[in-house]
């Protein structure tokens, strides 16, 4: 069983504080810290953990203990919107685990953060129990500075913990979502209007695929344009379907695809799904991938 967790913490400048959080995570068994990166202008750090449910749960709690002790939102400044010291904690199913199990885990960990650190917790995305509070941006609107006022409204009572913000650590948003794939397609043209029209055709907000966010950009240095995307559920809106649709839409303007690129990490199944589609593979099973067998008991 593999669960990914990507906690975002409101500290991106003080190296010794960030390192202490990484050390806290590394001290937990059953979980691996794959990566962590900090942005000074955002004043924010992102940790990428993978492990089984128990390992990931304990790592998040160890990280939260340090973050709540070391971060004070009253003096925190940064460009990125934030609500708390531990700002947002998404749990992501990778392999051998259902979304529902990640939702359960998110709710358990949310309740535990509230209990141990006296921090109010809001559930979001798949873990949300309130349809009006599914979206992270809605929950975070007003930020830490507006939180005490916001929480006075009954519809902003937290899912767990006290009815008012923690004085220094604010509130934490905990949830479950599918892995996000950052995917770009570069077009063999400098026509920005073509990239923008294709982005509009494929993204959910303007009638496209449900799990695609997209925008058209110019890549000035190369004299070409790009359709830049986030794929928020590669099982239901797979990479190959998006690629083929972009290709077809581009052809309507006489434009070819130059190349595509995956930015950062992708679950193995995101790529083998494309191989299955194009090779018309029948009866293929992830257990046939040699490397997957190695991680089984």
- Residues marked active site are found at 80
- Output 64 or 242, the one with its CB closest to its own copies: 242
Mapped onto helix, strand or coil, the DSSP state of residue 203 is coil
Q: Interface with its own copies includes 239 (CB under 8 A)?
A: yes
Nearer to its own copies, 108 or 260 (CB): 260
Q: Pick the binder of its own copies from 16, 155, 220, 282 (CB under 8 A).
A: 282
Say how far apart CA 250 and CA 201 lie, in whole Å. Answer: 11
How many residues lie near its own copies (CB under 8 A)? 43
Is 293 a residue that touches its own copies (CB under 8 A)?
A: yes
- Calpha distance 209→178 (Å, rounded): 16
Rounded to whole angstroms, how far apart are CA atoms 117 and 62?
11
The CA distance from 141 to 189, in Å, is 38
**How does DSSP classify residue 7?**
-
Q: What angle do CA 113, 117, 123 make, to 5 degrees?
A: 30
Site for its own copies in 242-261 (CB under 8 A): 243, 257-261
Q: Does 268 bind its own copies (CB under 8 A)?
A: yes
Closer Cβ to its own copies, 135 or 268, answer by number: 268
Among 9, 49, 50, 60, interactor with its own copies by CB under 8 A: 50
Backbone angles phi, psi at 218, to 5 degrees: -100, 135
Let me know: does 64 contact 24? Beta carbons within 8 Å.
no
Of 161-180, binders to its own copies (CB under 8 A) are 179
| Sites of contact with its own copies (CB under 8 A) | 2, 4, 32, 34-35, 50, 94-95, 179, 186, 239-240, 243, 257-262, 264-268, 271-272, 274-275, 278-284, 288-295
């Amino acid at each position: 069983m593999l669960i990914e967790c990507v906690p975002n913490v409101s500290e991106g400048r003080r190296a010794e504080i960030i390192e202490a959080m990484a050390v806290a995570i590394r001290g937990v068994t059953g979980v691996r810290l794959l990566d962590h990166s900090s942005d000074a202008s955002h004043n924010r750090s992102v940790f990428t953990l993978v492990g089984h449910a128990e390992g990931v749960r304990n790592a998040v709690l160890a990280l939260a203990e340090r973050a709540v002790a070391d971060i004070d939102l009253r003096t925190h400044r940064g460009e990125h919107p934030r609500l708390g010291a531990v700002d947002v904690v998404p749990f992501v199913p990778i392999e051998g685990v259902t979304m529902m199990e990640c939702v359960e885990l998110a709710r358990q960990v949310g309740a535990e953060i509230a209990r141990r650190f006296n921090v109010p917790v809001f559930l979001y995305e798949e873990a949300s129990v309130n349809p009006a509070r599914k979206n992270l941006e809605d929950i975070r609107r007003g930020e830490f500075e507006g939180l005490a006022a916001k929480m006075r409204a009954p519809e902003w009572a937290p899912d767990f913990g006290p009815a008012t913000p923690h004085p220094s650590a604010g509130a934490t948003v905990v949830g479950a979502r599918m892995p996000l794939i950052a995917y770009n397609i570069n077009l063999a043209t400098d026509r920005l209007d073509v990239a923008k029209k294709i982005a509009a055709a494929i993204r959910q907000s303007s009638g496209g695929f449900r799990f695609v966010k997209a925008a058209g950009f110019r890549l000035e240095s190369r004299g070409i344009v790009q359709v830049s995307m986030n794929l928020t559920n590669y099982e239901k809106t797979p990479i190959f379907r998006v690629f083929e649709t972009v290709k077809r839409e581009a052809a309507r303007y006489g434009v070819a695809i130059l190349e595509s690129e995956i930015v950062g990490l992708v679950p193995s199944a995101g790529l083998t799904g494309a191989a299955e589609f194009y090779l018309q593979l029948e009866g293929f099973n992830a257990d046939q991938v040699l490397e997957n067998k190695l991680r089984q008991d």
